[in-house]
Amino acid sequence: VTDLGHPPRPEPLLAPVEKPGRQDWSTWPRYEAATLGLRNYWYPVLWSRSLREKKPKAIRHLGEEIMVVRADGKVHALHDRCPHRGVRLSHPMATQEFPGTWSCCYHGWTYDLTSGVLVAAITDGPDSKMCGRVSVKTYPVEERAGLIWLYVGEEPPPPVEDDIPEELLADRTLVVGKRTTRTGDWRFGAENGFDHGHAKYLHRRTLWTFFRQMSAYSLADTVDEDPWLTQIKSSFGYQPEYPGLGKWPRKMKRITYKFPPAVVSIRLPGILRVKYRTWNHYEWWFPQDGERHTYVQVIATRQNVLRRALFKLWYYTWVRWVFHGMFNAEDALMVDVMDAPPELLYRPDHNLIDWRRHVDDKARPQPTDGAATGSPVRVTRRRSSDELIAEGIES
Amino acid sequence: VTDLGHPPRPEPLLAPVEKPGRQDWSTWPRYEAATLGLRNYWYPVLWSRSLREKKPKAIRHLGEEIMVVRADGKVHALHDRCPHRGVRLSHPMATQEFPGTWSCCYHGWTYDLTSGVLVAAITDGPDSKMCGRVSVKTYPVEERAGLIWLYVGEEPPPPVEDDIPEELLADRTLVVGKRTTRTGDWRFGAENGFDHGHAKYLHRRTLWTFFRQMSAYSLADTVDEDPWLTQIKSSFGYQPEYPGLGKWPRKMKRITYKFPPAVVSIRLPGILRVKYRTWNHYEWWFPQDGERHTYVQVIATRQNVLRRALFKLWYYTWVRWVFHGMFNAEDALMVDVMDAPPELLYRPDHNLIDWRRHVDDKARPQPTDGAATGSPVRVTRRRSSDELIAEGIES
Amino acid sequence: VTDLGHPPRPEPLLAPVEKPGRQDWSTWPRYEAATLGLRNYWYPVLWSRSLREKKPKAIRHLGEEIMVVRADGKVHALHDRCPHRGVRLSHPMATQEFPGTWSCCYHGWTYDLTSGVLVAAITDGPDSKMCGRVSVKTYPVEERAGLIWLYVGEEPPPPVEDDIPEELLADRTLVVGKRTTRTGDWRFGAENGFDHGHAKYLHRRTLWTFFRQMSAYSLADTVDEDPWLTQIKSSFGYQPEYPGLGKWPRKMKRITYKFPPAVVSIRLPGILRVKYRTWNHYEWWFPQDGERHTYVQVIATRQNVLRRALFKLWYYTWVRWVFHGMFNAEDALMVDVMDAPPELLYRPDHNLIDWRRHVDDKARPQPTDGAATGSPVRVTRRRSSDELIAEGIES
């Protein structure tokens, strides 16, 4: 418990001026431009078991319309639009008429699932001149760790393993989790994940933290452990005295269990890792469009067969509802209503600044690089250090 | 049954390029401009029996707001906006206060139903100076064949009979049908109606075609039988072998009834006629606004009294549900999601090209003639023949 | 009863031209600019009893997002946005953590309710440098006559009593009423309130007027009784004969009660007063945004204790439903669908013109004064008298 013995509550300034704060993200132009996400990465777009044979799913991923379909066990991804008259290939009336192909429901245009090439236009007869001359775009797609990984980008895809935390690929690893669609900008989701400030306050009354005495505040540095950025917490205040106001929280919890501290890291293109003692939690955020993003939560644990079975039982009866459900629903509420910039960052947001800088410096090439930002109404002039200090946090 | 004995499935090109296809409809500028329909035509906007005495209907037709009202048996159509403060004349609280007039519900401004002239402003007293000096626009309107026909345009209206298939006007003709509002561009509706390619594929599993063995493909020419464009089918393939893929359909129907072939025609401003042996089916598509259109299906048959009664029974117990309902609902699904241009037309679409050309050449004068197209984002440059060939179908 | 013995119904002009009418409100530029209401006034935004201790309400008022909260009995109003990351301070998860303050639910940023100054950023510890350097805007707010009065503006606020009809503030006055949100422009609401033309026609069949024989028309002058504009009615026609049409209304009511005439007045910033014999009715309209406005109805009566109790009983069992409910719901229907300008005003609208002129001349300074109007698409040229006459009413 900390009691810093601060002087009494500061007098409000006679004419307190609301600081204007940061008006845009032009300090990190590549980050600012990434409204539709970071391309040239593999993302876990669906759970393998959710994609049943010949029951395609239409997804919106990084602003593109994509049909994902399983045929003869193998997963394929195609641009979800028949070039004939613009009907979706994933329309519920669409079917497979020949092995290894997929047919548009309107006129029976039939595409090879691997190449995307038109191999028959059924209602034009076998001698149709369109065959071999038309194709729809296909996307690289892989299955690993019970998830379907999709690659959208302009660069040749790296091995999918490059973009999967290696623990998920190891033998004997149990992978369980949940995929949801959330409203709000994907960057708010990722920033909220790496933000240690809110955790102590927003989540102080949820069931998951019922037996944890969280600190009122802490300090945290960011350490680069390529490819992860990791938070190192350095100071904790459990019931500090706020000048002129009093102690907070007013009551400490009576019964608590001393949980070992979790270590939080983040990496490109927006993967959070929370390390617990015997298991790790991962999260992904990636945009569907400018208003919604896909949110994937995964828990991985490397155990023997019996412990895996017990862990699975614990996950489906407790963790999935209390942690992946109730706890993270509080974050979803905030991500949904966040409205920034303008924003006015404070000391605990140093970690977010480090993450933004990291994305801006290290993200794979993006088509928007060097172009004007995706947010044309915002000023894109780089600020001087003095201006940044004047704006708030970066002192 | 056709088996053309084609060579094996064509190798996908090493680098198959998705053909860009047609990016706009600037080849047919008058057709392209007709987003809000073709003016200076009579359209069947309502069924007569649906308009009850002094129960006005508010319709949106070719982008205009129109009140249609029956008073003393006669139908009138007025611009649906009181010029005083902009309240709709068709508001559910509006009434008729004097014979031959209609009063706005707000202040009692009272219009002559035939001329549209203000004949009383009730709450301004009998000496109101507004009378005779204000009017609302009226529209020509007629009743024929159980339908209410409305004329919107700048040219003097031709006789309404000019725009009604003459069969509907003949003695002893039974006219039955259905009016619905559909989403999507009206031109997609009309094109889908005249498109023989989709019929064989999209509708292959509906109840209406349960006992019909439709061909997998056919060829069709377009013949100009003024005012109709008529499809003449010249070749049919019932279970062809598609190179490298196999026969389609995989199974022929076991029990079929040999229906006599139907002959399909279309005419301005967007009327389809399907000739069966003893009855004909007609369809109209005309826009309400840029997102919805009115879709009218009519069946006409010329029979003696007894047969008319039997036909009517058959219509209301079977045809209305299975053909006008289920069958055409499949078309509605496609019209709703079509998204073109861009589009990539194929051989069976020759008939559509003929229809577009016909509209572009023969439609009555339109206010947009000579002006820029209604779709300012599209290129309006006329293509050369070479370019058209390079784009796809027009070889 | 008036029968002016007019000549027969005027012949419709051979070519009746719809008069174009008034295309914009540029005659009254300050009135035209007031789409988001008149600032620098006190408005009754909430009923006192609806705001319970520490249960904040988020309101939208004159286009601004404001949190109104009661703490220790006193009402406070703050800009409803935490400047940190843009989360609403009125979020249902937000709480009071220290007396006299309010904390954002996301990171515990804590604001002094009176000054709006940040007094703690809980998760940044007691030594946070943000304290005293950040604030959210606060708004002047008062409670009078059972209502919460809010002031939004750039000028120093006058005493709240300046903007409250004095009767409401008197001892022994009973104040009852109803607050609702309505669709449509607030000016349509206020104009409808002061419009005596519609009252006779629109409301002729509602329960509230069941025993009143309203005139078919009347004339009314406007008299300036600072701060009120008051209608003086000068002529009544109960069943006049409209030339060529007949008498209206066709039937006079058989059983009527002779109610003493009510006197209708209006004042800035949009308060209507209807004086009955023993009680007065007041209405306010003020915008939430460009599409919705707050509509407050108040009845005030100055009586002894017993009569107050009886009046209250009458209000809650009859007046609230039949007058504040059914009667004024008819107005709401009109205000919702009014669509002007363009508009074509008539003789009874003289009172509205007087009101518009009054607002334009007398409203307190507005930030838009002298700037272009809030409606950039409209012409803002001042019309000459000749043009105004040619347009309609102002002859």
Q: Assess contact for C300 and C168: CB atoms under 8 A.
A: yes
Q: What are the distances in angstroms from CA C351 to CA A40, C182, C229?
A: 67, 23, 9
pLDDT at position A308 over 90: yes
Q: Residue length, chain B?
A: 395
Q: Assess contact for A59 and A45: CB atoms under 8 A.
A: yes
Other chains touching C, judged by 3 or more CB pairs under 8 Å: A, B
Across the range A102-129, mean pLDDT stands at 96
pLDDT at position B378 over 80: no
Nearest to B213 by CA among B173, B169, B252: B252
Question: Can you read off the two tokens belonging to residue B229?
Answer: 């464009």
Best mutation target among B79, B107, B119, B135 (most C Cβ atoms within 10 Å) is B107
Contact A135/B243, CB-based, under 8 Å?
Answer: no
Best mutation target among B105, B122, B128, B138 (most C Cβ atoms within 10 Å) is B122
Summarised one tens digit per residue, pLDDT across range B130-170 is 999 999 999 999 999 999 999 999 999 999 999 999 999 99
Question: CB count, 10 Å around CB of A170?
Answer: 11
pLDDT of C394 reads 37
- Tally: H helices and E strands in chain C: 8, 19
Across the range B31-37, mean pLDDT stands at 97
Summarised one tens digit per residue, pLDDT across range A160-186 is 999 999 999 999 999 999 999 999 999
Across the range B26-52, mean pLDDT stands at 97
Q: How many CA atoms lie within 13 A of A30 on its CB side?
A: 18
pLDDT of C346 reads 95
Nearest CA distance, C107 vs chain A (angstrom)? 5
d(CA C86, CA C84): 6
Nearest to C32 by CA among C348, C387, C323, C373: C373
Out of C19, C201, C243, closest to residue B126 by CB: C243
Give one DSSP letter per residue of B138-179, joined into a string: EE-EEEETTEEEEEESSSPPPPGGGGS-GGGGSTTEEEEEEE
Interface A-C, measured as beta-carbon pairs within 8 A, has a size of: 133
| Mean pLDDT split into 10-residue runs, chain C, 395 residues | 41 51 94 97 98 98 98 97 97 97 98 96 95 95 98 97 97 96 97 95 90 89 96 92 95 83 95 96 97 97 95 96 93 95 95 97 95 43 39 40
Contact A241/C91, CB-based, under 8 Å?
Answer: no
Summarised one tens digit per residue, pLDDT across range B264-298 is 999 999 999 999 999 999 999 999 999 999 999 99
Categorize the per-residue pLDDT at A18 as very low, low, confident or very high, splitting at 50, 70 and 90: low
ipTM of the complex: 0.89
3-state secondary structure of B294: strand
| CB-based contacts of B194, cutoff 8 Å, min separation 6 | B229, B231, B264, B266, B272, B351, B352, B355
d(CA A363, CA A187): 14
Q: How many CA atoms lie within 13 A of C34 on its CB side?
A: 27
d(CA B208, CA B234): 24
Q: Assess contact for C39 and C140: CB atoms under 8 A.
A: no
Alpha helices (runs of H) in chain C, residue ranges in sequence order: 29-33, 186-194, 196-202, 305-314, 320-321, 328-337, 350-362, 385-391
Rama region for C87: left / alpha / beta (φ>0; ψ in -120 to 50; rest): beta
pLDDT of A59 reads 98
Contact A123/B200, CB-based, under 8 Å?
Answer: yes
Q: Assess contact for C272 and C264: CB atoms under 8 A.
A: yes
Other chains touching A, judged by 3 or more CB pairs under 8 Å: B, C
pLDDT at position A192 over 80: yes
d(CA A204, CA A210): 8
Give one DSSP letter per residue of C276-329, joined into a string: -SS-EEEEEEEESSSSEEEEEEEEEEE--HHHHHHHHHHIIIIIHHIIIIIIHH
Q: How many CA atoms lie within 13 A of A152 on its CB side?
A: 25
Name the DSSP letter for residue A207.
G
Q: What are the distances in angstroms from CA C158 to CA C34, C42, C143, C364?
A: 20, 9, 15, 11
Contact A242/C133, CB-based, under 8 Å?
Answer: no
Rounded to 10 degrees, the C-alpha dihedral C184/C190/C193/C197 comes to: -80
Burial of C291: CB neighbours in 10 Å, binned 0-12, 13-18, 19+: exposed
Nearest to C302 by CA among C147, C170, C177: C170
Q: What are the distances in angstroms from CA C147 to CA A206, C158, C274?
A: 37, 17, 19
Give one DSSP letter per residue of A16-36, joined into a string: PPPP--B---TTSHHHHHGGG
Question: Can you read off the two tokens belonging to residue A246?
Answer: 């009093």
Vertex A201: Cα angle to A195 and A207 (nearest 5): 105
d(CA A285, CA A269): 9
Contact C248/B97, CB-based, under 8 Å?
Answer: yes
C249: nearest CA in chain B?
B97
Contact C16/B117, CB-based, under 8 Å?
Answer: yes
Nearest CA distance, A237 vs chain C (angstrom)? 7
Out of B88, B117, B123, closest to residue C337 by CB: B88
Q: Residue length, chain A?
A: 395
Q: What are the distances in angstroms from CA A61 to CA A39, A43, A139, A149, A191?
A: 10, 9, 12, 12, 20
d(CA C350, CA B92): 28
Out of B4, B21, B200, closest to residue A126 by CB: B4
C117: nearest CA in chain A?
A12
Output b/e per residue, C152-175; b: 16+ Cβ within 10 A: bbeeebeebeebbbebbeeeebbb
C13: nearest CA in chain B?
B132
The whole model's pTM is what? 0.89
| CB-based contacts of C250, cutoff 8 Å, min separation 6 | none
Contact C98/A344, CB-based, under 8 Å?
Answer: no
3-state secondary structure of C175: strand
Contact C338/B86, CB-based, under 8 Å?
Answer: yes
pLDDT of A244 reads 94
pLDDT of B176 reads 97
pLDDT of C259 reads 78
**Which residues on adjacent β-strands are paired with residue C233?**
C220
Contact A123/B242, CB-based, under 8 Å?
Answer: no
All residues of chain B having their beta carbon less than 8 Å from the beta carbon of residue C6 are: 126-127
When comparing pLDDT for C352 and A6, which is higher?
C352
| CB-based contacts of A18, cutoff 8 Å, min separation 6 | C83, C134, C135, C136, C137
pLDDT of C388 reads 41
Summarised one tens digit per residue, pLDDT across range B327-373 is 999 999 999 999 999 999 999 999 999 999 999 999 999 999 987 54
pLDDT at position B321 over 90: yes
Contact B242/A122, CB-based, under 8 Å?
Answer: yes
d(CA B7, CA A127): 10
Average pLDDT over chain A reads 89
